Amino acid sequence: MLKSMTGFGRAEENVGNKTFLVDIKSLNGKQFELQLKIPGILKPFEFDIRRMLSEKLSRGSIDCTISLKETGDAKPVTINTDLAKAYYKPLAELSAALNLDASHILSTLVKLPEVITPSSETLSASEW
């Protein structure tokens, strides 16, 4: 029986307050080539995911994307107050030098890199 190496699929799995969506596409090919895109929470399990896919799929060009949707409460964040203070002074000086309204500095501060970052999460062994 001939099995095609060209195809696609989608699956969705709920784990606690998280929903994982898996999209996979395969094209005919002599070698096994895997392109894997995963969210940060799954990075510790990347080799396990690659191993599981390679055990089930022996050849072809595979694109696998796993995305994450938070379904519960809002994700906690960390605010780097020291970094925000370091950014604030030069922004306030620039605002004064350009005769601009300084009331918008906060909205600018929260958009700067690493001032507000999502708290890192990991999957527990039971969730994995």
Is it the case that residue 6 has pLDDT exceeding 90? no
pLDDT of residue 117: 80
Express each pLDDT in 14-43 by its tens digit.
Answer: 887 788 899 999 998 888 899 999 988 888
Residue ranges of domains in the chain: 7-70, 77-118
Strand order in the sheet with 32-37: 7-15, 18-27, 60-70, 32-37
| CA 96 to chain CA mean position, Å | 38
Q: Are 110 and 81 in contact (CB under 8 A)?
A: no
Better pLDDT: 63 or 75 = 63
Express each pLDDT in 79-110 by its tens digit.
Answer: 899 999 999 999 899 989 999 888 888 888 88
